């Protein structure tokens, strides 16, 4: 609260000082005071626009009225509200500036309400997606456990191993889902403060590939990274999670895929990551909502396979945004899809700081 008041006061003081200096320049250069009230009205409008609440705008209105009356209305450099035109112009200016302050505050409040509404909608969508995505593996785990308990002696060792393998696979999937949900909770909107440490690109890629090959030993990944040494400030665990989600997304959803690639190149002060496949691509109607956290389930398969990719991709988007980067997806020609995101490299980060 104190910080907000201090920031609002500093912003108001700077804008009013600039307006006062500009008004003095107009008076000396053009020998007129007719434009000066408009300058201060503009100043109050700017203050109302960039500060929070009514107080800064209304106080700036009062200060502007006093400044115009004191410095730019005859007799100069003394207050005089006895003349009807001075009093009338002061009342009009105060009314205009107060109305401006109220209007801009109302607009900002409506924008805040809309943002909260969008946030609640996204949470509701995420909850629906979670409910759907958790139901299938939990049902499989319950069914496999029941089959083992009820038919323990009649099942062959191979059947036991098959059912236990399904339980393990679905349990691992649930663990990754929980990791994604915990990341969404950790990265709550724009207020997150990700702790970045310089991470060597080659070490990051090696760690990701090691984990990926443990989960998908039969899937090869074609990797291309720059030869030079590259260090990127990041939360390495979160970026590993992004890369794992994108690679796993390709394995699960890129039907007909024959080649999966992970490419990294530099553009200026950025490191650009690309995960590409030559599979079936992404339906055009789903591209826009790909990172929102919820994709419609109209194509849920009858065999109960886990097909949702909404939560994992929304986690990727949240992590990349928290790092100050961007993530996008597009279809390749003639077939396949590519997910692309960028992060600032170490030198660029230091320049910005």
* Structural domains of the chain, with CATH: 2-114 (no CATH), 187-352 (3.30.565.10)
Question: What digits encode the pLDDT tens for the residues 252-289?
Answer: 888 889 999 999 999 989 999 999 999 999 888 788 77
Does 28 have pLDDT greater than 50? yes
Hey, which residues does 217 pair with through a beta bridge? none
Whether residue 310 contacts residue 296, with contact meaning beta carbons closer than 8 Å, is answered with no
Higher pLDDT, 333 or 75: 333
pLDDT reported for residue 264: 96
Residue 340 is predicted with a pLDDT of 95
pLDDT at 284: 81
Q: CB under 8 Å to 317, separation ≥6 — which residues? A: 291, 327
> What's the per-residue H, E or C state across 11-44?
HHHHHHHHHHHHHHHHHHHHCCCCCHHHHHHHHH
Distance CA 182, CA 175 (A): 10
Phi, psi of 278 (to 5 degrees): -115, 35
The model's pLDDT over 195-209, given as tens digits with 9 standing for 90+, comes to 889 999 999 999 999
In this structure, are strands 231-234 and 270-277 parallel, antiparallel, or unpaired? unpaired
Tokens of 321: 């945004």
Q: In this predicted structure, what is the pLDDT of residue 305?
A: 46
Which tops the pLDDT comparison, 33 or 211?
211
Residue 57 in tokens: 């705008």
- Starting at the earlier edge strand, list the strands of the sheet with 326-331: 222-224, 260-267, 270-277, 337-344, 326-331
* pTM for this predicted structure: 0.56
SS3 261: strand
Q: How far apart, in Å, are the Cα atoms of 127 and each of 46, 123, 192?
A: 40, 6, 21
For 82-108, how does the pLDDT look when each residue is reduced to its tens digit (9 = 90+)? 777 667 766 776 777 677 777 877 887
Work out the end-to-end distance of the chain between its first and last CA atoms, rounded to an integer number of angstroms: 26
Burial of 88 (0-12, 13-18, 19+ CB in 10 A): exposed
Q: What percent of the chain has pLDDT over 90?
A: 30
Q: What confidence score (pLDDT) does residue 347 get?
A: 64
Whole-number Å distance between alpha carbons of 105 and 99 = 10
Mean pLDDT of the chain: 81
State residue 203's pLDDT score.
95
């Amino acid at each position: 609260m104190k910080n907000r008041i201090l920031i609002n006061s500093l912003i108001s003081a700077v804008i009013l000082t600039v307006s006062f200096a500009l008004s003095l320049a107009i008076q000396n250069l053009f020998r007129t005071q007719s434009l000066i009230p408009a300058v201060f009205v503009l100043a109050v409008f700017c203050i109302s626009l960039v500060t929070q609440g009514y107080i800064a705008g209304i106080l700036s209105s009062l200060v502007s009225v006093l400044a115009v009356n004191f410095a730019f209305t005859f007799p100069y450099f003394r207050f005089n509200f006895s003349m009807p035109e001075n009093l009338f112009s002061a009342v009009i200016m105060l009314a205009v500036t107060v109305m401006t302050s109220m209007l801009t505050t109302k607009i900002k409040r409506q924008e805040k309400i809309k943002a909260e509404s969008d946030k609640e909608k996204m949470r509701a969508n995420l909850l629906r997606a979670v409910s759907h995505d958790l139901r299938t593996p939990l049902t499989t785990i319950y069914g496999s456990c029941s089959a083992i308990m009820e038919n323990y002696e009649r099942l062959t060792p191979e059947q036991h191993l098959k059912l236990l393998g399904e339980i393990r696979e679905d349990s691992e999937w649930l663990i990754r889902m929980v990791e994604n949900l915990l990341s969404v909770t950790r990265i709550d909107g724009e207020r997150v403060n990700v702790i970045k440490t310089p991470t060597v690109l080659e070490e990051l890629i090696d760690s990701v590939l090691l984990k990926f090959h443990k989960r998908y030993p039969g899937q090869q990944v074609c990797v291309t990274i720059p030869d030079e040494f590259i260090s990127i400030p990041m939360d390495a665990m979160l970026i590993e999670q992004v890369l794992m989600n994108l690679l796993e997304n390709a394995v699960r959803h890129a039907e007909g895929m024959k080649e999966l690639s992970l490419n990294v190149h530099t553009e200026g002060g950025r490191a650009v990551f690309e995960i590409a496949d030559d599979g079936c691509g992404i339906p055009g109607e789903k591209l826009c909502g790909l990172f929102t956290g919820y994709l419609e389930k109209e194509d849920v398969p009858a065999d109960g396979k886990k097909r949702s990719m909404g939560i994992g991709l929304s986690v990727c988007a949240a992590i990349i945004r928290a790092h100050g980067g961007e993530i996008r997806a597009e279809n390749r020609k003639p077939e396949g899809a590519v997910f692309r995101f960028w992060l600032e490299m170490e030198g660029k980060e230091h320049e910005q700081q």
